[in-house]
Amino acid sequence: MLVIYALSEGTKRHNRLQREVEGISQKMLTKTLRSLERDGLIRREVYPVVPPKVEYSLTPLGESLIGILTELCKWAEEHIEEVEAARADYDAR
């Protein structure tokens, strides 16, 4: 979801995505991008230059998720304090 949300702002290269999706390893980001490409949610474009240039963008199918993800992020922002309280209660047990 975080990769799709990051790509909702436009086309990006691998390194920029890794900076924006905090805490994800290069290996996991690559695996996630391949999976999203396989599912038809993102497009991978390779340019024939040296060094190779690869850009990722959302497909129309991927773009159809933007509204849903925006609402999910809005919910998370509105309920973060409740989630943190629940985590604290759980950890205290």
What is the topology classification, in CATH, of domain 2-92?
Arc Repressor Mutant, subunit A (1.10.10)
Q: What is the pLDDT of residues 44-73, one digit of tens each?
A: 999 999 988 999 999 999 999 999 998 998
- State if pTM tops 0.85: no
Please calculate the CA angle 78-83-4 and round it to the nearest 5 degrees.
65
What are the domain boundaries of the chain?
A: 2-92
Enter the tokens of residue 24. Answer: 């994800």
Given pLDDT bands bounded at 50, 70 and 90, which one contains residue 22? Answer: confident
Helix, coil or strand: residue 8: coil
